[in-house]
Amino acid sequence: MDEGQVEYTEAVTRRESGQDETISANRGWWDQEAADYLEEHGTFLGDADLIWGPEGWSEDDLHVLGDPTDLAGRTILEFGGGGAQGARWCATRGARVISTDLSAGMLATARLIEARSSGPPPLLAQADATRLPFADDSFDIVFSAYGATPFVADSAALMAELARVLRPGGLLAFSTSHPIRWAFPDLPGPEGLTANGSYFDERPYVEATWDIASYVEHHRTMGHRIAEIIDAGLVLRAVHEPEWPLDNTEVWGGWSPLRGQHLPGTAIFVASRGHTR
Ligand SMILES: C[S@@+](CC[C@H](N)C(=O)[O-])C[C@H]1O[C@@H](n2cnc3c(N)ncnc32)[C@H](O)[C@@H]1O
């Protein structure tokens, strides 16, 4: 390196990362990546569809939120909604929907999609899902496909916050990468099939330059994730581990048809505040 030049080398580590550092890093990362994310995954996600993960299963396939004809008139919150595609799917079924996201960049992609869409638009708001600007008991349904949950340090606090804004009897549903993935290299090929880490190691994955984090992703074992849901006062209704469908040939990061034949890639957690909705 020439004299006077400064080296900016990004390092990948597993180390603790608190809530403030995590939020700051991920807000910046998603702001910067938003346009590329839409470019890369927009067609797969659709403009007004609720796709639960890289397997490609949609809400029309899985009915995680219940009977779709029952959504009309419901008040629904999408957290970590990105381009708000899932919220738009709910809005077209007659629900009153607000989609929130930490990242202004991701909300900008939602507005881009909105400009070319003809269906009823969801409301959009910038909000950290661990500190929602809504009153207690506001929503019949709270959901997210891969939003926020792995990107916060205190996911127990996130569960409590989501439970707070749910009405009694309301439904929480969210997907995230399946916890078993954390024991394997995040690679789509055969090298991603040999465990090289511990499933039990819950230290987050951190990308950093000079130890200043630029991306942080957090892991919980299945048992700890379920405990956080129960500790938030919610009733766990289901955990879905959707299989990779044979007709999906797309690779999305570390998710691929090859790995999908061997390992679950997505976990969808469904809980309710009390027993009925
Ligand atoms: C993998 S994307 C998922 C977006 C969208 N649900 C989808 O299926 O394409 C993760 C999203 O979570 C958002 N996010 C990260 N941390 C968050 C937080 N603390 N509160 C709200 N959203 C957050 C990111 O900005 C990003 O839009």
Beta-bridge partner residues of 101: 126
pLDDT of residue 4: 72
Burial 104-130 (b: 16+ CB within 10 A, else e): ebbbbbbebbbeebeeebbebeebbbb
Q: How far apart are CA 219 and CA 180, in angstroms?
A: 10
Q: How many CB atoms lie within 10 A of CB 184?
A: 19
Those residues of the chain that have pLDDT short of 50 are 277
Whole-structure pTM over 0.95, yes or no? Answer: yes
pLDDT of residue 2: 66
pLDDT tens digits along 152-173: 999 999 999 999 999 999 999 9
pLDDT of residue 276: 55
| 151 to 80, 139, 178, 183, 267: CA distances (angstroms) | 9, 23, 14, 18, 15
CA–centroid distance, residue 81 to ligand 1 (Å): 6
Q: How far apart are CA 171 and CA 139, in angstroms?
A: 9
Q: How many CB atoms lie within 10 A of CB 85?
A: 26
pLDDT of residue 250: 97
With a 6 A CB cut-off, is 79 part of the ligand 1 pocket? yes
pLDDT of residue 1: 57
CA–centroid distance, residue 83 to ligand 1 (Å): 9
Q: Output Rg (C-alpha) for the chain, integer angstroms.
A: 19
**Mutate which of 109, 142, 151, 158 to test ligand 1's pocket (most atoms within 8 Å of Cβ)?**
151
pLDDT tens digits along 31-47: 999 999 999 999 999 99
pLDDT of residue 73: 98
Domains of the chain (ranges; CATH) run: 10-272 (3.40.50.150)
With a 6 A CB cut-off, is 103 part of the ligand 1 pocket? yes
With a 6 A CB cut-off, is 82 part of the ligand 1 pocket? yes
